[in-house]
Amino acid sequence: MNKFPLLSFLFTCFLASGQENRILISGKVTNDTIPIENVHVINKNSQKGSITNQLGQFKLSVTDKDTLMISDIQYQNKIIIVNHDHLLTKYLEINLLELTNELDEVIVRQFDDMSEELGLPNAGKKPLNKLERNLNHYSQKSTPIVILEALLFKPGGIDDIYNIVSGNRKQDRKLKALIDEDRVISNNQKYVVKIRDHFQDDFFIKTIQIDEDHIDTYIFYCLKKGIGPLYDKGRLIEVIDVFLKNKDPYFASLTEVD
């Protein structure tokens, strides 16, 4: 009798049994009570992983003595050994500590290697700053809906009302808008320098027929018409076409402002 097929069958059953013993638990990852999004929670025994949502929540199948690695490029890695209490409550509350600047570079390299090896999504995603994390945490629903959900005792309802009443959500939204506006202005200023240097002042004065004092503001005006991406792609004929077509609307806009 050939024993190899029997041994192979028993080995397969043993592996399947090990997987069946795992149960699905949920958990939450925070930093000083603030939920952390996009944290990787890896079961090193099963080589399976999960990523936290906007509320810092995740779900993962585990069994007793499984080793879980929790990692994020802005926080110190944490290792948890699953025990009997975790299996009974089917819940994990995990608090991560922020990294010091000296450790950031080392952790980023380790995070990238592990993400690529496990094929996890968002491996190269740019980390969120504190303002962006707060905005993701705030409910985006209208105030009446937030109040209704709080009255119905839905998760996050009380916190959402506090963020609205205290003005945190509105204040952070305004701050984000100002930061975005500054970023656009800074980016446009770089475009003005590059485009003016490329075409030279004679092009604007003789071809477009505008005064030297108006060159910068005219380029700014045309940036709103989409010449930035066209310039980056080398589509200079289309850039020139935009310049030629928008001289009159530009001077009309100056008259309206006056």
Assess whether 121 and 187 both reside in one domain: no
Average per-residue pLDDT for the chain: 78
Residue 6 half-sphere exposure, CB side, CA atoms within 13 Å? 3
Assess whether 101 and 16 both reside in one domain: yes
Please write the tens of the pLDDT for every residue from 196-247: 999 899 999 988 898 999 999 899 899 988 898 999 999 989 999 999 999 8
Residue 132 is predicted with a pLDDT of: 65
pTM higher than 0.95: no
Please write the tens of the pLDDT for every residue from 144-174: 776 666 566 666 566 666 666 666 767 767 7
Please write the tens of the pLDDT for every residue from 77-113: 999 999 999 999 999 999 999 987 554 455 555 545 5
157 located within any domain: no
CATH code, domain carrying 111: 2.60.40.1120
Phi-psi region at 50: left, alpha or beta (left = phi > 0; alpha = psi -120 to 50): beta
132 located within any domain: no
* Domain assignment of residue 32, given as a range: 4-126
- CA gap 140, 169 in Å, rounded: 9
Assess whether 14 and 112 both reside in one domain: yes
48 located within any domain: yes
Which of residues 73, 105, 126 is at a domain's end?
126
Question: Has residue 11 got a pLDDT over 50?
Answer: no
Assess whether 9 and 122 both reside in one domain: yes
Question: Has residue 55 got a pLDDT over 90?
Answer: yes
Assess whether 119 and 178 both reside in one domain: no
Kindly indicate the confidence band of residue 187, based on its pLDDT and cuts at 50, 70 and 90.
confident
Assess whether 108 and 24 both reside in one domain: yes
Domain count along the chain? 2
Question: Has residue 22 got a pLDDT over 70?
Answer: yes
Assess whether 184 and 98 both reside in one domain: no
Assess whether 11 and 122 both reside in one domain: yes
Residue 138 is predicted with a pLDDT of: 63
Assess whether 116 and 175 both reside in one domain: no
Which of residues 68, 96, 126 is at a domain's end?
126
Q: 240 burial class (0-12, 13-18, 19+ CB within 10 angstroms)?
A: middle
240 located within any domain: yes
86 located within any domain: yes
Q: What is the dihedral of CA 192, 196, 197, 198, to 10 degrees?
A: 110
Residue 38 per-residue DSSP state: S
Over pLDDT 90: what percentage of the chain?
36
Which of residues 72, 102, 126 is at a domain's end?
126
- CA gap 36, 132 in Å, rounded: 11
H helix intervals, 55-129: 84-89, 101-118
Over pLDDT 70: what percentage of the chain?
64
Assess whether 14 and 113 both reside in one domain: yes
Q: What is the mean pLDDT of residues 19-47?
A: 90
133 located within any domain: no
Q: Which residues of 113-148 are buried (b: 16+ CB within 10 A; e: fewer)?
A: ebbeeeeeeeeeeeeeeeeebbbbbbbeeeeeebee
Assess whether 10 and 114 both reside in one domain: yes
* SS3 at position 60: strand
227 located within any domain: yes
136 located within any domain: no
- CA gap 214, 208 in Å, rounded: 11
Assess whether 107 and 189 both reside in one domain: no
- CA gap 161, 165 in Å, rounded: 6
Could you tell me the CA-to-CA distances from 79 to 16, 69, 140 in Å, in that order? 26, 5, 33
- CA gap 53, 38 in Å, rounded: 6
